[in-house]
């Protein structure tokens, strides 16, 4: 299941804060800040989708992510590879390295990461 753009933006703030009350999440936004009811609706939808949990603290709820950032974005990247690159990671890597204007140093760092993955397999 995926998040809408608004839900994903809120999730970024929650991942960053690790645990937060709705007022803390609202304060993370630039002005004009979203309405309290908007954040409450987004959080409820995200709970229903299994992305967010909460702990009752007095009369307030402290929210926390149930899905790790790496896990969420890993599924997105795998979906991109499947849907846009015919499930061919080599095509994706070629596109990524050609279109992102990476420096020689960054390409060498990527090569090291790939070499380490090859050794571990």
Query: With 0-12 CB in 10 A as exposed, 13-18 as middle and 19+ as buried, what is 111?
Result: exposed
Does position 9 have pLDDT exceeding 90, yes or no?
A: yes
Q: Do residue 61 and residue 74 come from a single domain?
A: no
Q: Do residue 39 and residue 59 come from a single domain?
A: yes
Give the sign of the dihedral formed by CA 26, CA 27, CA 28, CA 29.
positive
Query: With 0-12 CB in 10 A as exposed, 13-18 as middle and 19+ as buried, what is 17?
Result: middle
Q: Do residue 18 and residue 56 come from a single domain?
A: yes
Q: Do residue 79 and residue 60 come from a single domain?
A: no
Q: Do residue 59 and residue 75 come from a single domain?
A: no
- Out of 15-29, 51-65, 83-97, least confident range: 83-97
Rounded average pLDDT over 94-107: 89
101 pLDDT band, cuts 50/70/90, is: confident
**Among candidates 50, 49, 52, 51, which has minimal Cα distance to 21?**
52
Split into its structural domains, the chain has a count of 2
Q: Do residue 102 and residue 86 come from a single domain?
A: yes
Higher per-residue pLDDT: 32 or 79: 32
Question: Full-prediction pTM beyond 0.85?
Answer: no
Q: Do residue 16 and residue 30 come from a single domain?
A: yes
Does position 1 have pLDDT exceeding 80, yes or no?
A: no
Q: Do residue 61 and residue 15 come from a single domain?
A: yes
**Among candidates 56, 54, 40, 55, which has minimal Cα distance to 7?**
40
Q: Which helix or strand (DSSP H or E) is residue 60 part of?
A: strand 60-65
Q: Which domain holds residue 115?
A: 69-120
């Amino acid at each position: 299941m995926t998040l809408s753009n608004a839900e994903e933006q809120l999730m970024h703030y929650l991942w960053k804060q690790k645990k937060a009350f709705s007022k803390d999440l609202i304060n993370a936004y630039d002005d004009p800040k979203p309405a309290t009811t908007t954040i409450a609706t987004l959080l409820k939808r995200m709970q229903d989708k299994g992305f967010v949990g909460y702990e009752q603290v007095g009369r307030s709820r402290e929210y926390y992510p149930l899905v790790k950032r790496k896990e969420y974005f890993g599924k997105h990247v795998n979906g991109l590879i499947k849907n846009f690159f015919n499930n061919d990671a080599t095509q994706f890597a070629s596109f990524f390295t050609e279109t992102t204007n990476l420096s020689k140093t960054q390409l060498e760092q990527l090569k090291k990461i790939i070499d380490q993955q090859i050794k571990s397999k």
